[in-house]
Amino acid sequence: MQVGFIGTGSIGTPMAINLNEDYPLIVHDVTREKATALLEKGAKWAASPKELAAQCDVIHTCLPGPKEATQVVLAEDGIIAGAKKGSVYIDHTTNSPELVRDISAKLNEQGVEMLDAPVSGGTEGAQVKQLLLMVGGKETTYEKYKGVLASMGEVIYTGAIGNGMISKITHNCATFCVSVAMMENWSVAIKAGLAPEKIVEVFQRAGIGRNMDVHSRLPNTLFQGKFDPIFALNIAKKDIGLATDLAKSYGVPVRVSELVLQEYLEAINRGWGKYDSSVVLTLQEERSGVKVRLPQK
């Protein structure tokens, strides 16, 4: 099985190095020098995406974004111009789900399959094969190539084409939102007199640092649609109010926290105060028309 890899940046290079341990590799990047480490390990060079695709059974890309993916795949010298019938294109770019579905449809017309497989774990995870690869596409295609993907990390199948990208971008957005909220409250704590090293230690050892919401509380409440109080909404609202009051007293703006407080006040006004605090999340379910529930075991 001949494998190709396009995009040898800070994450792509260690991913490709790991692939190169298990499969013969052909590489391409806009700058040949970026592929030096791979070429020194025996990988071959292709002068264009088209040239690479014409030689490969499996074509990987790891690119900066949708603009670059469009160029690499759909340009005159792009993957689509060289890909062989029966080959597969696997995109690790954090990309637009709509673009991925469009590219997949175009490739399918000429007998080429596609998987979208964005990654989580950064350069460090790529270097030690501890990436999480979130894969979308036909399940039969996934089953055929999951061994190739496993050369780079842990693999999870997410469903139809584009679902890998949906998984990645929604997870990242939520992560960044949480980071802003944490920064707001770190700044309040430090301005109120807490040493930075202590607030970091608390956050690392308390619920957020251990991901208790996703691993413990929400599976027993929201994900089941059961809101018997584990941490009552009234109490949670009180805690948020205390934190935002503290911020005001020190003149620290906390826009995300104030927005969350308004959510909790709306839920309190619904008469939900004695339920578990996760009931506040059902406000978004109402607005979106989507329920977040796990299958009953």
Q: CA 112, 29, 57: angle at the middle one, nearest 5?
A: 25
Residue given tokens 């060079």 in the structure block: 45
Out of 129, 138, 144, 168, the active site residue is 168
Per the annotation, the verdict on 168 as an active-site residue is yes
Extract the tokens encoding 201.
Answer: 């230690």
Provide the pairing of β-strand 88-91 with 58-61: parallel
Q: Which amino acid is at 285?
A: E
The beta strand positions in 121-164, using DSSP E, are 131-136, 153-159
How far is Cα of residue 31 from the mean position of the Cα atoms in its chain?
27
Please name the helix (run of DSSP H) or strand (run of DSSP E) that holds residue 26, with its range, or none.
Answer: strand 25-28
CA–CA gap between residue 60 and residue 76 (Å, rounded): 18
Three-class secondary structure of residue 218 per DSSP: helix
DSSP bridge pairs for 44: 26
What is each CA distance from 100 to 77, 143, 144, 172, in whole angstroms?
Answer: 19, 19, 20, 18
How far, in Å, CA of 241 to CA of 261, rounded? 7
What are the beta bridge partners of residue 61? 6, 91
What residues are labeled active site? 168
